[in-house]
């Protein structure tokens, strides 16, 4: 279990969409300071929310932030890039760009902040995956989230000796700008944020945020043909 009240938290991509909802939920639970990042950050009206510039694709940007934020006890790896075109129709460069943010960007954050978490008592790491970590048909985006899921499972073992809780988050369509144009049922990001913060407070290692995600988790042991997006 990791206490939220009084905690210092880093939320990447924390100024819009799900990240903003996570920040709001952390505030409601009594977090002392939340560093909310964006490539072009905007100041918050709440003095507990400190806007920080960050490009997770840039190693120097990540290193500079870690050098500055030595008080962080919880890291939420939320920043991500969209892109779900078919793999056969995508250039290698486009797929690589998605991985650069969704996989390597998240890993950069962990490598930079793991020593900080250790010095501050262990704390927690939250990696935001997707139901598309398990489901075929989402091209480079799904592949990048599958890679992050695998990395999170390894990081859980690697960070255990320093007492860091590692929580992986899986969710289906959620009502954010990234999928605003899709006419499908969507989660309320506030509900997902609540589930994430609940998990950290109770020491859970996995969040299955909705019925779609719970269904696909349940059929992972079945035929791979069952792990496909259907119209």
Instruction: Enter the pTM of the model.
Output: 0.92
The active-site residue, picked from 145, 173, 190, 215, is 145
At 88, phi and psi to the nearest 5? -70, -20
Distance CA 7, CA 73 (A): 7
Answer yes or no: is 131 within a domain: yes
Instruction: Respond yes or no: is residue 190 known to be catalytic.
Output: no
User: 231 falls in which pLDDT band (50, 70, 90)?
Assistant: very low
pLDDT by residue (tens digit) across 124-174? Answer: 999 999 999 999 888 999 999 999 999 999 999 999 999 999 999 999 865
Which of these, 143, 43, 35, lies nearest to 88 by C-alpha position? 143
User: What is the number of structural domains in the chain?
Assistant: 1
pLDDT by residue (tens digit) across 88-127? Answer: 999 999 999 999 999 999 999 999 999 999 999 999 999 9
Answer yes or no: is 62 within a domain: yes
Answer yes or no: is 2 within a domain: no
Q: Which two tokens stand for residue 9?
A: 């938290």
Instruction: Respond yes or no: is residue 145 known to be catalytic.
Output: yes
Distance CA 156, CA 161 (A): 10
Distance CA 131, CA 168 (A): 11
Answer yes or no: is 141 within a domain: yes
Show the DSSP H helices in 80-138 as ranges: 92-99, 106-119
Answer yes or no: is 38 within a domain: yes
Distance CA 89, CA 121 (A): 46
Q: How many residues does the chain have?
A: 231
Give me the CATH number covering residue 121: 3.40.50.720
Q: What is the pLDDT of residue 43?
A: 95
Answer yes or no: is 212 within a domain: yes
Through-space distance between the first and last CA atoms of the chain, rounded to whole angstroms: 40
The active-site residue, picked from 141, 173, 190, 215, is 141
Answer yes or no: is 164 within a domain: yes
Distance CA 70, CA 172 (A): 33
**Domain residue limits at 139:** 8-226
Answer yes or no: is 204 within a domain: yes
């Amino acid at each position: 279990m990791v206490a939220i009240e009084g905690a210092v938290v880093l939320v990447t991509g924390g100024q819009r969409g799900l990240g903003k909802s996570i920040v709001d939920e952390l505030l409601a639970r009594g977090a002392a300071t939340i560093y909310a990042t964006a490539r072009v950050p905007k100041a918050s009206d709440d003095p507990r929310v400190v806007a920080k510039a960050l490009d997770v694709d840039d190693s120097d940007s990540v290193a500079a932030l870690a050098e500055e934020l030595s008080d962080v006890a919880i890291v939420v790896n939320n920043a991500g890039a969209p892109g779900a075109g078919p793999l056969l129709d995508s250039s290698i460069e486009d797929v690589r760009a998605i991985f650069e943010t969704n996989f390597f960007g998240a890993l950069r954050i962990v490598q930079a902040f793991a020593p900080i978490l250790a010095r501050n008592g262990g704390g927690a790491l939250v990696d935001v995956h997707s139901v598309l970590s398990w489901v075929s048909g989402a091209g480079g985006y799904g592949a990048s989230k599958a890679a992050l899921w695998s990395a999170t499972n390894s990081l859980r073992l690697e960070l255990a000796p320093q007492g860091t809780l590692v929580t992986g988050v899986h969710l289906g369509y959620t009502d954010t700008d990234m999928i605003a144009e899709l006419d499908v049922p969507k989660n309320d990001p506030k509900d997902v944020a609540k589930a994430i913060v609940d998990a950290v407070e109770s020491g859970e290692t996995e969040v299955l945020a909705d019925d779609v995600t719970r269904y696909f988790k349940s059929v992972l042991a079945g035929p791979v043909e069952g792990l496909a997006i259907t119209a």
